[in-house]
A and B are shown apart, each in its own frame.
Chain A
């Protein structure tokens, strides 16, 4: 130890006795030397964050895996009944439940519709923002920003009101439009949220696109700013159409951004909870569940709640997302994110 301290440039060469704080400084220097000698600094800096992540994110994940192979429920929490390992029983009963397949279908179909819709809408608005004049671009991007800023719960309650059969503006508008345009359905007092899963998911899809396209738009816009304007101008002078310019120049240059946006969108749309919770009026309509609602129902709303069953669903859910995440991580690493 003493040897190390001698090598410290910061340590005072001669001690000045009697100065307050001297002792603290010296022990501080000794601690510093210890940290340096064993190269502990990065670990000390990392420790608080790592502890938080480990305790709140990683350990619960391990627990969920354990629960999924147990009969864990209220009785086991209170100790009234023993916790037992049940093998794959939770998984087999989940796979045997038609509700599970229904909720998986709803989740996948929503993502299949919403992901391309969000990406296309966001890209169109991003391209538009890039070509509009300064004031007009500020106006459009402010509008988009406000939709983006709206908290999901606020947005969901708001859309529920927009499509409400009792005074909602959407039904009123549709009922005033000519039949050749909107079909012969009696739109006055049409119930979007309880008629069926399809109607409810139309509302959820519009809601999610409304909230998510601004992020795509600003990301695409940020990417477009890095594309040299001369390149696009030259292509246009040569007579290329906007469509061609986009696919031959813009898209190849922005491909990495599009790939990340695609993966993020898929993950976000698989995770939708707040919006579907409100629009489907949880726990009202089981045929309108997505995976998140199905999981939440099994774990908390069913009587008795089954944490084991919920854990099994959570694990299946997490595995599906893991596959997507691996794609995301590989993309990020390939783009040099780890350097």
Chain B
């Protein structure tokens, strides 16, 4: 196996360097503390960090704050940072569906969740199979297949949307969630295969060979040996396809049309926004309910996210 540079094997090396680096930096910091000039520098770095963090957080803070404000505070001539009289009214009207007029936010939440989870399942399974082929076998067109994936992942959905719309209309797959799942799963495949390939390649071939000698079938080797070992990789690609499907806009916008009951969250928020009337309280409440779950999700998976995506970015 000539792939020491693959994603997973790089991770322990990076971790080791980080740990060493931290250690030497800590002693260096101790030395630094003795000198006040350096201390002042650390303080200004911290101040800069706080400034950046606050600037970055402000839009999200404002979204949540607006969502809890009663109408007269939202349009007040002197806006206040926090709601003076916090209210759940905006959330109530979003949940009852009376302001948007097309249904409760829970309906769209359910649609988004169904599409996202189905996409993750299908994309994970197909990309796992394909990545085994690419990482474990040498066959004709292997290199061309990999280059094809790189190019295909760059084709923007905008360029394909016309043909997709016509094809899926013929198949009667517009205005339902199945059509979205098919497109999203296929869109997630190129990157998922690229990412998983690195994970599969790091699993020692000897494990599989030993199992084969013991009489295990190919299918059994796949499920009992390869699958558990490649699980971290699957988690990374699942995160990727989850985010892609949860955020996707142009295909859902085009496919779902006026079928309000099939709207996913981004289309619901867009519809709500486009209705006019500037109901900013309820719109921000809807945005908050769309945003907060995925933000929490990011925070939970942050370690895998950074490792997986940078591996994906650097290695393609």
How close is B186's CB to chain A, nearest CB, in angstroms? 4
Residues of A within 8 A of B45 (CB): 128, 131-132
Q: Does A274 contact B (CB under 8 A)?
A: yes
B280 touches A151 (CB 8 A): no
Could you say which of B20, B185, B287 contacts A158, with CB atoms under 8 Å apart?
Answer: B287
B129 touches A45 (CB 8 A): yes
Q: Does A226 contact B (CB under 8 A)?
A: yes
Could you say which of B56, B250, B302 contacts A274, with CB atoms under 8 Å apart?
Answer: B250
Q: Does B228 contact A (CB under 8 A)?
A: no
Complex CA gap A333/B306 in Å reads 23
Known: A28-B217, A149-B297, A299-B162. A169 touches B75 (CB 8 A): no
Known: A53-B152, A154-B269, A277-B249. A149 touches B294 (CB 8 A): yes
Main secondary structure of the interface of A (DSSP, over half): helix
Complex CA gap A151/B295 in Å reads 9
Main secondary structure of the interface of B (DSSP, over half): helix
B159 touches A318 (CB 8 A): yes
Encode contact with B along A295-339: 1 for CB under 8 Å, 0 otherwise: 110011000000100110011011001101100110011011111
Residues of A within 8 A of B54 (CB): 143
Q: Does A145 contact B (CB under 8 A)?
A: yes
For B295, the closest partner residue in chain A by CB is A149
Q: Does B106 contact A (CB under 8 A)?
A: no
How close is A222's CB to chain B, nearest CB, in angstroms? 4
B162 touches A41 (CB 8 A): no
Q: Does B12 contact A (CB under 8 A)?
A: no
Q: Does B5 contact A (CB under 8 A)?
A: yes
Q: Does A1 contact B (CB under 8 A)?
A: no
Complex CA gap A53/B284 in Å reads 37
Residues of B within 8 A of A57 (CB): 152, 155, 160, 186-187, 190
Q: How many residues of A contact B (CB 8 A)?
A: 110
Tell me the residues in window 152-167 of chain A with beta carbons closer than 8 Å to chain B beta carbons: 152-155, 157-162, 164, 166-167
Residues of B within 8 A of A321 (CB): 154-156, 159
How close is B8's CB to chain A, nearest CB, in angstroms? 14
B152 touches A63 (CB 8 A): no
Could you say which of A67, A229, A296, A317 contacts B20, with CB atoms under 8 Å apart?
Answer: A229
Known: A46-B133, A77-B166, A157-B273. A339 touches B186 (CB 8 A): no
Residues of B within 8 A of A143 (CB): 52-54, 56-57
B133 touches A42 (CB 8 A): yes
A317 touches B156 (CB 8 A): yes
Q: Does A82 contact B (CB under 8 A)?
A: no
The 10 closest A-B pairs by CB, nearest first: A56-B186, A60-B163, A149-B298, A42-B137, A45-B133, A49-B130, A63-B163, A143-B53, A229-B21, A42-B133
Beyond the given A53-B152, A222-B307, could you list 17 further A-B residue pairs with CB under 8 A, ordered by the A residue number? A41-B218, A43-B133, A50-B145, A53-B149, A63-B166, A63-B167, A67-B162, A140-B50, A144-B53, A144-B56, A153-B247, A154-B291, A162-B59, A164-B280, A225-B18, A228-B17, A229-B25
